[in-house]
Structure formats: structure tokens, C-alpha cells
Amino acid sequence: MTQIFLSPPWVDADERQALLDAFDSNWIAPVGPNLAEFEKAGAVATGTAHGVALTSGTAALHLALDVLGIGPGDEVVVSDLTFAASAFAVVHAGAYPSFVDADRSTWCIDPELLEEHLLLRTNAGHRPKAIVSVDLYGQCADYDAIRATAKRWEIPVIQDAAESLGATHRDKPAGAQGDLSCLSFNGNKIVTTSGGGMLVGDDGALIDRARHLATQARQPVEHYEHDDIGYNYRLSNLLAALGEAQLRRLPAKLRARAAIHTRYREGLDGLEGIDFMPVADYGVPNHWLTVITIDPAVFGADRTQVSAVLREADIESRPAWKPMHLQPVFASNPLTGGLVGERIYEHGLCLPSGDLLDEADQDRIIALIAAQAGSHPTGIDL
């Protein structure tokens, strides 16, 4: 039996052909016609007006902060429960992150704690300059509340939509909720260019400025003139071609991941002590990853034990993201809350969710998990 990964890419003849066509066109550079087409498609997929294709989601976050004028000494609020890149980008911009805990009903940033945090930090003399709000595991954050708070405080919202491409919030696609939004096309994301990202938004001037900075801040003259510190962040035209083909596959990918999610629910929902990441009523997630929590006192085994059993069967599963405030590198950054994220990390397990996971393999995963019920009632560590 072959190894089962968490979220392997699904590429096919279409992607191969798109890549070869771009290759044969000789636009083998971070410039070319596929970039403009991919950006147009990215903007459409996120319900925004403009996009700039970049080398990574992290680069998109960095440029978002940069074009919004975030710099040295500035504080930026970031979701505590996320992948570290959300916070790293803030440091790349010369600023520093402060963290707000997840909401137990969405696992995304808690809007009430956000409000409290902004007040606390402002009273302490460190009024934050922006919010990086992460759409966790493919579910949009609560943008009605987050946007209202951001408006009151007159600070921009950068939507980290690296995991949520294809999800919706109200009637709009994920990516339309931030002042600027960031996508990732890393190999494990729902749409991949092997590595890549995109910054999208409605403000054409901001996106143009990001494009300028992403291409070494080159002035449009022949003699290599620069009016700014730029970056080498532009995506290759070859990968843009790959991305176009992947985006055309997005509807099929969403259907596949939703079906996998439903099958996990049907297979595991009856098990005492196992719960699923809650689905908020304001939108539809893309089900990038299906994530469960395992309460060892009720289930009779903890997530480490379940994960070890899966690993022995060559099946990859991963703990939920480790909150930023538990990361040694951010141990002394300001934080409001933190216990919700800690619990999710302690008990959360991400299950294989790749588009091509077949039903027999998934049933095997479900059976292996179910068989662990009551297997370690005293909570002995393996």
C-alpha cells in the first residue's frame, strides 16, 4: 500500500500541457503573458479587482504590510493560532506581531478579544497599525465583526487567505474580505504552483505598488534606476501557467474535499470524544484539511497515540498549528487570551484530505482511528 499524505497536489495532463506550452513560448522568466492571465483568474476567484502573482504567500503578506506603510517599530495584531508565516511576515516588514487567541466557535481570531486587545495595547501606548486575520484550515474568519472593529479603530485588515481559496463568507469568495488578501500556492495548499502566492485587493494603486516592489522597484527606464528598496518576489511565468490550470480545477477540488470531509463526519461522528472543527454559519469552508479534536479522557486515546497508529500504516496526520505564543521565537510578544488555541493544539489532529484520497483508503483511516477508542484509557504515552 502506498503512503498517504496530508494534502498532496492534484496535477494532471492539463497542468502538464499548460506548463509545456509556457515553456515552448520561451517566456521562462518572472515576466510573460501567463502572469497577467493568472492574476486575472486569481482576482476573479477571490471576488477582487486586482492581483499580483508572487513567489510565496509569505511574500504576499510581506508586501501587503509594506504597501500599507507598516514598518519598523509598528505593532501588528496577528491570529495566535496559525502557521508561523503569518507572523514572520510582520517581522520581515520590520514590525512586530502581537497575538489574539482563536474563537472556539470558528478557530479563527476571536473578534471580542480583538477589540479588547486593541484597547489594552493602545492604553499601553502601542496602538496596533494593522490586523492580519487568518482563515484557518479553509474557513473564513468572522469578517462582519472584524471589519466593524477595524473600521472603528481605523486600521486595515490583511486577510491571510493562504488556506481558504474557494471558501465563501456570506455570498462572497474568500479573499474579498480584507483590504488586501494573501493567497498561497505552496505544494500542500488546495491550489498549487509548487511554490507561489498572490496578493489581491480592490485598490489598484496598492496592487500596482506591490508589483513595483516585487520586481526590484525598477523604474520603467533602461538605465536601471530605483526609487525604492525592492524585492525579488515575482512568480515565474512558467508557474503562472501551472497556476492557471490549477485554478480551472478549483471547482472539482472543492467538490472532492467536501466529499472527503463528509465521509469523515459520517465515519467518526458517532465516536465519543471526537469532534470536528466547528463550521461557522456565515460561510462555506473549502475543507482544505479536515481537522478533528480528540478528548483523551472520553475517547480513551490521545491525538499523539492516534497519529502514531496512522504513521505505522504509512498515513500522514499532523497536530493542529502550534499557537504563536507557544513558539520560543515569540514567547515574549504581547498576547490576549491563548487558552483556546492551546486546547486546539493539544487535541487537534489534521487528517489526510487530498483531492484524490479514495474511499477505500479513507475508510481504512477511519477504521484505524475508531479502533483506538478506549485503547489507552489511562492516557499512557506511546
List residues binding ligand PLP (CB under 6 A). Answer: 56-58, 82-83, 85-86, 134, 160, 162-163, 184, 186, 197
* DSSP for residue 98: E
Residue 324 gets the label, from left (phi > 0), alpha (psi -120 to 50) or beta, of alpha
| Cβ atoms 234, 217 nearer than 8 A | no
Residue placing its CB nearer to ligand PLP in the complex, 156 or 196: 196
| Cβ atoms 191, 246 nearer than 8 A | yes
Closest residue to ligand PLP, judged by C-beta, is 57
Alpha helices, H only, 168-313: 204-214, 237-248, 250-268, 296-299, 303-312
Residue placing its CB nearer to ligand PLP in the complex, 57 or 338: 57
How far apart are CB 30 and ligand PLP at their closest, in Å?
Answer: 16
How far apart are CB 64 and ligand PLP at their closest, in Å?
Answer: 11
Residue placing its CB nearer to ligand PLP in the complex, 288 or 299: 288
Residue placing its CB nearer to ligand PLP in the complex, 46 or 305: 46
| Cβ atoms 332, 314 nearer than 8 A | no
* DSSP for residue 58: H
Residue 73 gets the label, from left (phi > 0), alpha (psi -120 to 50) or beta, of left
How far apart are CB 162 and ligand PLP at their closest, in Å?
Answer: 3
Residue placing its CB nearer to ligand PLP in the complex, 85 or 357: 85
How far apart are CB 355 and ligand PLP at their closest, in Å?
Answer: 17
How far apart are CB 367 and ligand PLP at their closest, in Å?
Answer: 29
Residue placing its CB nearer to ligand PLP in the complex, 27 or 233: 233
Residue placing its CB nearer to ligand PLP in the complex, 213 or 274: 213
How far apart are CB 59 and ligand PLP at their closest, in Å?
Answer: 7
| Cβ atoms 343, 277 nearer than 8 A | no
How far apart are CB 197 and ligand PLP at their closest, in Å?
Answer: 5
List Cβ neighbours of 230 (8 Å cut-off, separation of 6 or more).
212, 213, 214, 215, 216, 217, 218
| Cβ atoms 35, 235 nearer than 8 A | yes
